Amino acid sequence: MTISRRNLLRGGSTLVALTTLGCETSSPLDAGLEDTSTPPRDTPAPEPDVREQPDAGPPLTGPFQHGVASGDPFPDSVVLWTRISEASAAVSVDYEVAEDPAFASIVATGSVSTDASRDYTVKVIAEGLASATSYYYRFVAAGETSTIGRTRTAPEGDVSRLRFAVASCSSLAHGYFHGYRRIAERADLDAVIHLGDYIYEYGTGQYGRIRSYQPDHEIRSLEDYRIRYAQYRGDADLREAHRQHPFITTWDDHESADNAWRDGANEHTDEKDGPWAPRLAAASQAYREWMPFREGEGGRLQRALVYGNLIELIVLDTRIWGRDLQASGSGDPTLLDEDRQLLGADQEAFLLGRLEGSTARWKLVCQQVMMATLPAFLNTDQWDGYPAQRRRVLSAIEDGGISDVVILTGDIHSSWAAEIAADPSTYVPATGAGAVAVELVAPGITSPGFSEGLAALYTDIVNDEAPHFRFFELVHRGYVILDVDADRCQSTWMHLDDVTDFRAGVETEAQTLDCTSGTPRWNPGEMAAARSDAPTLAP
């Protein structure tokens, strides 16, 4: 079928397709555009693909089948995580942290207990560590020792260079986690920033059909969410990324349900799914149990991580904490309400307070949904659907003279670099004048972007109508390498050849852009070489 740009802009089902991209609802990219990734919901599931990854190793046995992980580095401490598999009673777990992978020089030890009330997960903060230092850690339980993890504390004071991977959107049903494996292999990362859609809640065959899910139905209960996290941590590639690097995570919708907001979700109905509050509580509890982050009061995710005078990471929850129901469209009378909330008033105050008070050169705002305006349609799930709050945040940046703000975004399964003005009418595409911040959007690890047909059409529209996007690519999966020094923040979009084939996984540098300190503009750059002094990967 051919579809004209005029038809695209006039609406109909293709416009619906666009508005639901990144929202992953039932049949988003249909309209005859030959997207084969998303079968209609509630059709019989295909035969699961039973191929095994060749590098997965033998089936894991013993108490540590879900690996080890670490997260939220401070200069003197880091969260360590593991889980005791197949336990049926309370277990005592010891941990050791060493300067070397042979554990000749142990610097911290401790013992904690876990039980069924927290799904036998272990989360402990290892303290008394030195800043800007890589450590190796392991757990001991029931006479057995875990694999060795590797982590790294944050630096203090003067910092010359930092390097992160930025990831989002790993729909297990859409393929293999080659992106996590490539991230695991990079010895020179300070941390992995994960912007959400770490798990997906669907049942087998509902969204993607390369791999089948455990449990095989859409997840709703605490037990369901726990089983899904356990399946994800059974994936060798994801487990290896956690083993080699600390993660800094926030969640998006699919850690609970598609296009969630504070009091509900797009496809959640009380009739089908039961009440929302206990479902969200179950999703939140499983996330807190399984993810290595420092929990705020009530389990809240907003927090800041300071990497000396170079970077402050401001981590937000735009998904649940304060989010109002998405507007129904451009004609929704509530769309322009001054008090329409994506963040919640308290989280907006937190964000602006951190931005205004930060002593770091670069302020990296780690959050979920795209802040830059997309042309031709209104995606009400993004900041476009919460314009008053976006204008307040950007105006505060402008009025406060706050420089070097970089928005980090996931959610939409495609690669973008944007320059963002508080008042779009002041933006000058030829020079970037008027912009107050830049944004980078990481593609999905596996979750599908635009179909080829839709991508071709929409590429023309963006090129014609949205010059604030300095780079975009709508199809490939991958992740971003963020390399930062005092002079520039560099973003490199790494793309993967094929996530549907476990034998694939070749990555290529798709684009490198530099933002020079003091000028919120993306310019072509040359990808910085890996650091030669990176500590050895965990054996």
What is the size of the binding site for Fe ion (CB under 5 A)? 3
Dihedral angle computed from the Cα positions of residues 291, 211, 116 and 195, in that order, rounded to the nearest 10 degrees: 10
Considering only the stretches 61-69, 165-173, 301-309, 514-522, report the one whose residues sit in contact with Fe ion under the rule CB under 5 A. Answer: 165-173
Q: Rule CB under 5 A: is residue 197 a binding residue for Fe ion?
A: yes
Asked if 414 interacts with Fe ion (CB under 5 A), we say: no
CA pair distance 263, 98, nearest whole angstrom:
44
- Sheet with strand 469-473: strands edge to edge: 303-307, 311-315, 362-366, 405-409, 435-441, 415-421, 469-473
- Which of 395, 381, 258 is CA-nearest to residue 324? 381
253 binds, among Fe ion, Ca ion, none (CB under 5 to 8 A by kind): Ca ion
Neighbour count for residue 280 (Cβ, 10 Å): 20
For 77, the 3-state DSSP assignment is coil
Between 64 and 200, name the residue whose CB sits nearer to Ca ion: 200
Contact segment (CB under 5 A) with Fe ion among 105-113, 360-368, 446-454, 504-512 equals 446-454
Nearer to Ca ion, 411 or 483 (CB): 411
CA 227 to chain centre: 20
- Listed in sequence order, the residues at least 6 apart from 416 whose beta carbon sits closer than 8 Å to its beta carbon are 370, 372, 409, 439, 440, 441, 469, 471, 472
Q: Is 114 in the site for Fe ion (CB under 5 A)?
A: no
- Which residue number, 253 or 419, has a Cβ lying nearer to Ca ion? 253
> In this complex, which beta carbon is closest to Ca ion, that of residue 404 or of residue 411?
411
Comparing CB distances to Fe ion, the nearer of 122 and 173 is 173
Min dist. Cβ of residue 170 to Fe ion (A): 8
Per the CB < 8 A criterion, the answer to whether 373 and 379 are in contact is no
Distance of alpha carbon 294 from alpha carbon 77, whole angstroms: 11
Determine if 267 is a binding residue for Fe ion (CB under 5 A).
no
Q: Which is nearer to Fe ion, 71 or 448 (CB)?
A: 448
Of 250 and 490, nearer to Ca ion (C-beta) is 250
Alpha-helix runs per DSSP H in 104-167: none
Is the Cβ–Cβ distance between 365 and 407 less than 8 Å?
yes
Q: How far is the CB of 400 from Fe ion (least distance, A)?
A: 32
Closest by CA to 287, choosing from 198, 357, 382, is 198
Report the interface residues with Ca ion, using CB under 5 A: 197, 252-253, 411
Restricting to residues 275-294, which ones interact with Fe ion according to CB under 5 A? none
* Residue 367 makes contact with Fe ion by CB under 5 A: no
Quote the longest CA-to-CA distance of the chain: 68
If one asks whether residue 447 binds Fe ion (CB under 5 A), the answer comes out as: yes
According to DSSP, residue 151 is labeled E
- Closest separation in Å from C-beta 438 to Fe ion: 22
Q: Of 169 and 241, which has the nearer Cβ to Fe ion?
A: 169
169 touching Fe ion, by CB under 5 A:
yes
Residue 514, token pair as written in the block: 């530099």
How near is the Cβ of 409 to Ca ion at its closest, in Å?
10
> Could you tell which of Ca ion, Fe ion, none binds residue 447, using a CB distance below 5 to 8 A set by kind?
Fe ion
State the minimum distance, in angstroms, from the CB of residue 259 to Fe ion: 10
CB of 38 to Fe ion, least distance (A): 12
DSSP code per residue over 291-320: S-----GGG---EEEEETTTEEEEE--TTT
- The least CB distance from residue 196 to Ca ion, in Å, is 6
Contact by Cβ (8 Å): 141, 175? no
Q: Which residues bind Fe ion (CB under 5 A)?
A: 169, 197, 447
